[in-house]
Amino acid sequence: MDSKIFCLSFLAVLLINGSRGANILAVFSFPAPSHLIVEISMAKVLAEHGHNVTVITSLKPHVTHKNLNLIYIPLTEEQRKAHEESIANMTERDNSNIITSMFHMRKEIFVVNQINCDIMKNPRVKDLYKNKHNKFDLVMIGYCFNSFQIGIAQKLRVPVVLATSMFPSGVFNPMLGNTHSQAYVPAMFLSVEKGRAMSFGQRLINYITINMVEIITYLIDKDNKKYYEEVYGNDLSMPKYEDLNKNVSLVLFNSHGLSEGPIRPNFPGVIEVGGIQIKETPDPLPKPILDFLQNATDGAILLSLGSHLKGAYLKPDTVQKMFNVLSKLKQKVIWKWENLDKIPGKSDNILYSKWLPQDDILAHPKIKLFINHAGRGGITESQFHGKPMLSLPVFGDQPANADKMVKDGFGLSMSLLTLEEKPFHDNIKEVLENPQYTEKVKAFSQLFRDRPLTARQSVLYWIEYVLRHHGAAHLQSPLVHMSFIAANNLDIYALLICLIVVCLLIVKHIIRYTGKSNSSTYVKNPKKVKTI
Ligand SMILES: *[C@@H]1O[C@H](CO)[C@@H](O)[C@H](O)[C@H]1NC(C)=O
Ligand SMILES: *[C@@H]1O[C@H](CO)[C@@H](O)[C@H](O)[C@H]1NC(C)=O
Ligand SMILES: *[C@@H]1O[C@H](CO)[C@@H](O)[C@H](O)[C@H]1NC(C)=O
Ligand SMILES: *[C@@H]1O[C@H](CO)[C@@H](O)[C@H](O)[C@H]1NC(C)=O
C-alpha cells in the first residue's frame, strides 16, 4: 500500500516536473555587473529548481548555487583597459543628444563584442560542443546586441532563449516579429508620460529616433556578422548569420509593461520578468549597516552611482560638492564608494562601503531616498520597495530612464556632469519633504508586484515550457520569416495601384469614346444626315 502511494506520488512528481534536471548552458559574457545581475538571477531560479546550469561569464558573479557551474573567463588586462576607456569616453561627452549618444553606444558595443568574440573562441567554451560527453537541452544568451553568440545554440542543436536586462523594443523585432507601432509606442531612449498620446512633435522625434535606432542596429549587426565569421566562419554546418535571430524561442525581458508602460502590442514570445533580481523577501543586513541604520532617527539616504560608473570617473570637485551637501544633512547617508583609502571626506552621518546589498538596504524602512545614476536595475529596485529617488544620469540609457522616472512622479533628476551644491541640496530636500513622490512610488510598487506569476515563477514556467516542447517555434510570429515587401504588404499596395491605374485608363477611354460618340450624335450627325 505504502509503496503504491509512493509510486503514484513519484509519478505525479514526474508528471508535474516533466523537465526536471535539464542541462542548460547560459552565455552571460557581457562585462557589465548591471546586466549580469539580472541574467544570473534568472539562471539561479533554474538552479534552485534542480536544473544544472553552466554559466559563461567574464565577471565574477555575486550569486552562487551548487547547481550553477561557472565558466569564468576574466577579461585580459588589454580588454579591461579598452572597455574602461570606452566607458570613460562615453562619460566625458555630453550625452543629452540621443543620436550622438547612440553612435557612442555603437563603439562601446563594438568593444564589448570583441570581448564576447574572444570568449567564444576560448578552448573551454569550444569544448562545450566539441566534447561529445557534454549534453545540453537549452541555451540562454544574455542579450545586448550580440546575436552572433546565438551560434553556440546551433552548434549544440538545441532551442535558444534570450535573457536581457533591456525592455521590449524594435531591437527585438527580428527575433519576435513584433510589429512597429511608431505612432504610439515611444522608442528606446525616449520617454513620454504614461497613457498619454504623443503630440505631433513627439511623434516626429519618435519616428526619427526609431529609424536612427534601426540604422545603428543595422551597423551593429554588420559588426556582429564579422564576429560570427571570426568564430564559426569555416564551419559549413552553421546557418547563415541572418538566420540566427529567426531561431529564438522566447525573450525574457527585465520589464513589466502593465505597470511601467508603455502599453504596446507584444507577441507571445515576449515574457516580462521585470524585477527578477529583487528578492521576494530581503536578506538580513550586514551588522555595520544595520547598526548604522538603527541610529538613523531622521531617516537615511542610500547613494550609489552603480558599478559600471566607478567613483574614479567622477570629477573630484563634483565629489567634493556632493560631500559638502550630504555631510550637512541630518539624515544618515550610506555611500557606495570603491576606493576606501581615498574617501570624499569624513563625517559622522556618512558610511562608505565598497559593495552594498542594495536591494536589501532599499527594503529597510529607514531609507527615505535613493540617490542613483538611473541604471535600470537600481530604479527597478527602488520602485519595487516604494522608495523615491534623485537620479544623476550620465550616459547610455540613463538620461531616458531618469526622464521616465521623473515623468512617473517618483522623484527628480539632474545631470551629474553639471552638478552644483545648491540645486543638489534643494532637490534632496524637495524629495525628502514633499510626500507626493513617496505616495506615487508606493502606489506603483503595489501595481508592479501584482501579477499572475511572480517574476521567478515566470522564468521557471517558460524555460520549462521550452524544454517540454523542444523549442517554441509555434509561438513565433510569421513576420520573422517574411520579407520587407511582404511584411509591409507593399506587393498588395502595388497591385491596388496597378488596378486603380488600369481602372482610370479604362474610364478615360470610355469617357473619350462616349465623348466622341456623343459629339458625333450632336456634331457629326448632321454630316451623316447630309451624306445619307
Ligand atoms: C552539469 O553540467 C556540467 C557541465 O557544465 C557537467 O560536467 C555535469 O556532469 C552536469 N551535471 C549533471 C548532474 O548532469
Ligand atoms: C576614446 O577617445 C580617444 C580620444 O578621443 C580615442 O583616441 C579612443 O579611440 C577612444 N576609445 C574608445 C574605445 O572609443
Ligand atoms: C533552429 O534550431 C533548431 C534546433 O532547435 C535547428 O534544428 C534548426 O536548424 C535551426 N534553424 C535555423 C534556421 O538555424
Ligand atoms: C549609534 O548611536 C550610539 C549613541 O549615539 C553610538 O554610541 C553608536 O556608536 C552609534 N552606532 C553607529 C553604528 O553609528
Query: In this structure, which amino acid lies at residue 395?
Result: F
Residue 309 clears pLDDT 70, i.e. is over it:
no
Which carries the bigger pLDDT value, residue 426 or residue 395?
Answer: 426
Pick the ligand that lies closest to the CA of residue 332: 4
Contact 442, 365 (CB under 8 A): no
Class of residue 106 by CB neighbours under 10 A (exposed 0-12, middle 13-18, buried 19+): middle
Atom index in ligand 2 nearest the CA of residue 107 equals 14
Atom index in ligand 4 nearest the CA of residue 348 equals 14
* C-alpha 290 – ligand 4 centre gap (Å): 11
Residues 451, 483: Cα–Cα separation, whole Å = 36
Residue 532 clears pLDDT 60, i.e. is over it:
no
- Distances in whole angstroms, Cα of residue 167 to Cα of each of 162, 189, 209, 259: 12, 11, 16, 13
* C-alpha 468 – ligand 1 centre gap (Å): 20
Contact 463, 161 (CB under 8 A): yes
Contact 262, 197 (CB under 8 A): no
Pick the ligand that lies closest to the CA of residue 349: 4
Ligand 3, pocket-test mutation among 157, 160, 474, most atoms within 8 A of CB: 157
Contact 189, 275 (CB under 8 A): no
Contact 116, 79 (CB under 8 A): no
- Residue 63: what pLDDT? 87
Pocket of ligand 1 (CB under 6 A): 23, 52, 54, 69
* C-alpha 216 – ligand 2 centre gap (Å): 19
In sequence order, what are the residues at sequence separation of 6 or more whose Cβ sits closer than 8 angstroms to the Cβ of residue 297? Answer: none
Residue of minimum CA distance from atom 1 in ligand 4: 295
* C-alpha 189 – ligand 2 centre gap (Å): 23
Contact 402, 384 (CB under 8 A): no
Atom index in ligand 2 nearest the CA of residue 88 equals 1
Residues 89, 104: Cα–Cα separation, whole Å = 8
Tell me the CB-side half-sphere exposure of residue 237, using CA atoms within 13 A: 6
Which carries the bigger pLDDT value, residue 95 or residue 115?
Answer: 115
Contacts 24+ apart (CB under 8 A), 117-121: 117/148, 117/227, 117/230, 117/231, 118/76, 118/79, 119/29, 119/56, 119/58, 119/73, 120/148, 120/149, 120/151, 120/152, 120/227, 120/231, 121/230, 121/231
Largest CA distance in the chain: 122
Residue 515 clears pLDDT 80, i.e. is over it:
no
Which carries the bigger pLDDT value, residue 194 or residue 355?
Answer: 355
> What's the pTM?
0.82
- Distances in whole angstroms, Cα of residue 447 to Cα of each of 206, 264, 375, 443, 452: 27, 17, 21, 7, 12
What is the three-class DSSP state of 207? helix
Pocket of ligand 4 (CB under 6 A): 291-292, 295
- Residue 94: what pLDDT? 57
Q: In the chain, pLDDT over 90 holds for what percent of residues? A: 63
> What mean pLDDT is predicted for residues 447-466?
96
Residue 520 clears pLDDT 70, i.e. is over it:
no
- Residue 401: what pLDDT? 87
> What mean pLDDT is predicted for residues 279-287?
91
- Residue 46: what pLDDT? 97
Atom index in ligand 3 nearest the CA of residue 247 equals 1
pLDDT tens across 191-239, in order?
A: 777 778 899 999 998 998 888 888 889 999 999 999 999 999 888 889 9
* C-alpha 52 – ligand 1 centre gap (Å): 6
Which carries the bigger pLDDT value, residue 208 or residue 271?
Answer: 271
Residue of minimum CA distance from atom 1 in ligand 2: 89
Residue 79 clears pLDDT 50, i.e. is over it:
yes
Query: 367 forms bridges with which residues in the sheet?
Result: 300
Contact 72, 122 (CB under 8 A): no
Residues 145, 107: Cα–Cα separation, whole Å = 12
Residue 373 clears pLDDT 50, i.e. is over it:
yes
Pick the ligand that lies closest to the CA of residue 24: 1
Q: Tell me which residue of 89, 90, 38 sits closest to 396, measured CA to CA.
A: 90
Residue of minimum CA distance from atom 1 in ligand 1: 52
In sequence order, what are the residues at sequence separation of 6 or more whose Cβ sits closer than 8 angstroms to the Cβ of residue 431? Answer: 369, 388, 389, 390, 411, 412, 437
What is the three-class DSSP state of 198? coil
- Asked whether 476 lines ligand 3 (CB < 6 A), one says no
Contact 109, 223 (CB under 8 A): yes
- Residue 406: what pLDDT? 94
Residue 95 clears pLDDT 50, i.e. is over it:
yes
Q: How confident is the model at residue 19 (pLDDT cuts 50, 70, 90)?
A: very low
- Residue 529: what pLDDT? 47
pLDDT tens across 417-444, in order?
A: 889 999 999 999 999 999 999 999 999 9
- Residue 504: what pLDDT? 96
- Give the chain's mean pLDDT: 88
Residue 56 clears pLDDT 90, i.e. is over it:
yes
- Residue 1: what pLDDT? 45
Contact 374, 407 (CB under 8 A): no
In sequence order, what are the residues at sequence separation of 6 or more whose Cβ sits closer than 8 angstroms to the Cβ of residue 269? Answer: 175, 176, 248, 249, 250, 251, 472, 475, 476, 477
Give me the domains of the chain, ranges plus CATH numbers: 20-278+454-476 (3.40.50.2000), 287-449 (3.40.50.2000)
